Amino acid sequence: MMKRRVALCVLWLAVSLADAQSPTASPHGNESLLIALENGWNQAQLHHDSKALAGLVADTFISTDNDGTFMTKAQFLADNSDTSYAPTLMANSDEQIFLYENAAVVAGVYHAKGLNKGKPFDHYGRFTDTWAYLKGKWVCVASHTSALKKRP
């Protein structure tokens, strides 16, 4: 009887420790919502809709582009308004989502294609977007991209 109690206590302790090590899923939404926000971001960039994009990023948003360019929210929105960059395709794939209580990280592969200053481009890269649940909604607080040398 005593051995059974000890075994049950050890089992309970192991389960409790394992639970404490796993991140808590967010009560503010699910993976589908974050994918929809990422897709909305792509559409806002395709159509140079900086107003829509402004609603998706935090006031403290920072972006690091694949060439090392660092931008604040204001710089990012101004860059989005530049119509000399004319994408015809912006799509994400292979997305992975990591949910936490008031934060989420979305990582994946992006494909952007179109014209930049009249010259065609066709880029593939990886992205990592960090989202936070602030003032009752999800906003992106940081974005980082890096170029892929080979197409996925």
Residue 17 has pLDDT above 90, yes or no: no
Give per-residue pLDDT as tens, 109-137.
999 999 999 999 999 999 999 999 999 99
CATH (domain of 57): 3.10.450.50
pTM (global) more than 0.85: no
Please check whether residue 16 lies inside any domain of the structure. no
Please check whether residue 102 lies inside any domain of the structure. yes
Give per-residue pLDDT as tens, 57-66.
999 999 999 8
- Provide the residue count of the chain: 152
Residue 12 has pLDDT above 60, yes or no: no
What is the number of domains present in the chain?
Answer: 1
Residue 40 has pLDDT above 80, yes or no: yes
Q: Report how far apart, in Å, the C-alpha atoms of 11 and of each of 20, 29, 90, 109 are.
A: 14, 32, 49, 41
Please check whether residue 8 lies inside any domain of the structure. no
Please check whether residue 17 lies inside any domain of the structure. no
Please check whether residue 5 lies inside any domain of the structure. no
Please check whether residue 12 lies inside any domain of the structure. no
Please check whether residue 9 lies inside any domain of the structure. no
Question: What 3 state SS string does 13-77 have?
Answer: HHHHHHHHHCCCCCCCCCHHHHHHHHHHHHHHHHCCCHHHHHHHEEEEEEEECCCCCEEEHHHHH
Please check whether residue 30 lies inside any domain of the structure. yes
**What pLDDT score does 30 carry?**
83
